[in-house]
Amino acid sequence: MRPENRYLLALYASPRRRGNTSLLLDSLVEGAGEAGVEAVSFRVAEMDIRPCRGCEACSRDGECVQRDDMQAIYPHLERAGAVALAAPIFSMHICAQAKALIDRCQRFWALTYVLGKHPVDDGLAARRRGLFISCCGRDAPETFECTRPTVAYFFHVIRVKDWDSQTYAGVDAAGEIRKVTGALQRAAGWGRSLRDWGSGAP
């Protein structure tokens, strides 16, 4: 992996700055820092990211016609060597802030499947890593099953083949994740594991 790709894109989608998924992602970013991997972070819920309009304009040239804060995130979705999305469950699915971001990745779908090209080159795509972090108040791990197709699509369309998830059920009140044994440490460990990712690549 080239030096310019050796960084983490951290996407905080929860509207709670000190919510549980945010704390987990904080730990991941800290772990990555310990491994010498810098992070570029976005507080998605605090940004102007409008829903996809379904206008199909991106099928003409691969660009989204909406000019909002998503324009700041697109380049990192193309270049980051690792991508972490932290989003809680609201009303039995991924929160709306995260879903809006994922829907706006339609331009990547258009680039790949309509225009036959993609800004993520094959070498980077083969080595990129991803992590989905989520918590829900309902004490039922099966709640997260509904997120898998959506998150799998997100990582697929930005060409992240190697991705995993860390999900925690029965975690509701802000900060409650601190009471879950090993949760923050597990997130930090994933961040530290980036120390050697992409080694040996050109």
The domain that contains 17 carries what CATH number? 3.40.50.360
Mean pLDDT in residue range 172-183: 97
pLDDT (tens digit per residue) in 35-73? 999 999 999 999 999 999 999 999 999 999 999 999 999
For residue 65, tell me if it sits in a domain.
yes
Cα angle 66, 72, 73 (rounded to 5 degrees) comes to 95
For residue 181, tell me if it sits in a domain.
yes
Range of the domain at 151: 3-196
For residue 129, tell me if it sits in a domain.
yes
For residue 29, tell me if it sits in a domain.
yes
For residue 201, tell me if it sits in a domain.
no
Mean pLDDT in residue range 165-190: 97
- % of the chain with per-residue pLDDT over 90: 92
What pLDDT is attached to residue 200?
A: 43
Q: At what angle do helices 183-192 and 20-34 cross, to 10 degrees?
A: 40
How far apart CA 37 and CA 6 sit, in angstroms, is 7
For residue 158, tell me if it sits in a domain.
yes
Strands 93-94 and 129-136: unpaired
What pLDDT is attached to residue 190?
A: 97
Q: Into how many domains does the chain fold?
A: 1
How far apart CA 146 and CA 159 sit, in angstroms, is 21
pLDDT band at residue 83 under the 50/70/90 scheme: very high
Q: State the chain's mean pLDDT as an integer.
A: 95
Indicate whether 191 pLDDT > 80.
yes
Mean pLDDT in residue range 74-82: 97
What pLDDT is attached to residue 197?
A: 77
Mean pLDDT in residue range 140-167: 97
Q: State the sign of the Cα–Cα–Cα–Cα dihedral 84, 110, 95, 66.
A: positive
What pLDDT is attached to residue 2?
A: 72
For residue 202, tell me if it sits in a domain.
no
Mean pLDDT in residue range 135-160: 97
